[in-house]
Structure formats: structure tokens, C-alpha cells
Amino acid sequence: MRSIYKIELMLAIVGIIAAGAMFFYENPNATITGYVSALNITIYVQNLDLYADGTQIYSLASTTSNLNLKYLSLDGEVVGDGRVEIFIDNGAGSQYLIYENVVKTINYSQRRSPITGMIVDEDTSAITGNAVGENPLNKVEGTWLIIQPKKTSIPYEFRELESNEQKVNGTFHTRCMETCNIPSGTFNSDKYELLFRVEKGTHVQVKQLEYVLHENG
């Protein structure tokens, strides 16, 4: 029986090696950093100074053309002990949660990269790239979106926390919840809205936005 297991293990290893060789044969520009490979992913970065201490809507307008979003994350800080939720709305009935200051009480400091499936640290970008020149993540900074305040004081009720969840405050980095891997066409417009929902006595400041586009957008 042991010899059979050894043979099966060897065949599995050979299969993995063969699959890896085929991948790099078909994708010669891919490189490996740790366990992560990247294929020329461009991350668009825009510095922000958005503040909300209640319910607030900000309009987002592209300065170029439609943005077929694949990934969207935020950096910022929560001050206070209340709840915070930030959504993006496509104007056609879909709202995706970008960030909430709620974590699981077990292993909440880890999450999975939507691109690689590997577990990454809470403060690590959900998309990691290969070393390309002096910009290993292919990040480009600029003013890609015109963002303006729109409405305030919109009634909203937060969902009840589960028994294994708790609120957190402080800084957050490259956070994406439902926007880590957006299906193509779901958010494909030149106008969006950011919806802030913040409990009384708490405020949130968003300092940076990152996004990736689908290849056809």
C-alpha cells in the first residue's frame, strides 16, 4: 500500500511541475514573488481627503471614459467606537460593500487575495505584483476621478453583528470586501457613487483609493 501512495504522490508532484512549466511557457512575462505571480496588472491610485461623520454620498465621475472596475479598495481611518460601512453604487441597482469596520474574532487579521487565493496580511494589498523596474506593483498615481459631496442625512439601519464579530477602529489599508473581484460589466460606467454610513459619535476619513480595470475596459 505504501508503494502505491508513493507512486501517487510522485505523479502529483510531476503534474504540478508540468503545469507550472506550461504556465510559464504560455506566459513568459510572468514572474514569481514568494507564492505570487502577476501578469502586468496596472493599479490606479488616487489620493483623497473624504470625511464622513454620518450618512453621506459622494459622486464619482471619470475624467476619461467608462471604468469597467475589477477591483476597488480604500485606505483610511476610523475614529470612534461606532459602526462604519462604505459602499459603491453603480446607479443601476447594484451596491457592493467596500469596507466595514467589523472583523471576525478568530483569524480576522488574515484574508485571501482575490487574484492569487493566498492568505495575505490585513494591511497587505489584495493585489500583489511582480518586480517591474522601480514600481513592483505597476501602480500609477493621478487624478482619475472627480469626487464631490452629494447628499447627507439618509436613514439607515446597520445589520446586527454575529456572535463571532466585533467592531474595530483605527487605520485600514487597501480594504475591499465585495469589491475584491468584481465581475466584468457589473460596474462599467463613467459615474458612480460612494455611500458612507457612519454611526453617531464616530467619523471616518478616506485617504486613498485604488482600482484595477478589466482588460476590456
pLDDT in the model for residue 145: 94
Q: Please say whether the beta carbons of 72 and 208 come within 8 A.
A: no
pLDDT in the model for residue 91: 86
Q: What does the pLDDT look like over 134-165, one tens digit per residue?
A: 445 688 999 989 999 987 767 788 889 989 89
Is a pLDDT exceeding 80 seen at residue 79? Answer: yes
Task: Detail the DSSP E strand segments found in 101-202.
Answer: 102-104, 110-112, 119-121, 139-141, 145-152, 165-167, 170-175, 188-189, 191-198
Is a pLDDT exceeding 70 seen at residue 24? Answer: no
Is a pLDDT exceeding 50 seen at residue 32? Answer: no
Q: What does the pLDDT look like over 163-206, one tens digit per residue?
A: 989 999 999 999 999 999 999 999 999 999 999 999 999 999 99
Name the residue ranges covered by the structural domains of the chain.
Answer: 1-33, 41-213
Judged by DSSP in three states, 20 sits in helix
What does the block give as the cell for 15?
503534474
Evaluate if pTM is beyond 0.85.
no
| Residue 29 CA from chain centroid, whole number | 24
| Residue 104 CA from chain centroid, whole number | 18
What does the block give as the cell for 42?
496596472
Q: Rounded mean pLDDT of 83-104?
A: 93
pLDDT band at 86 (very low <50, low <70, confident <90, very high): very high
Q: Rounded mean pLDDT of 14-32?
A: 49
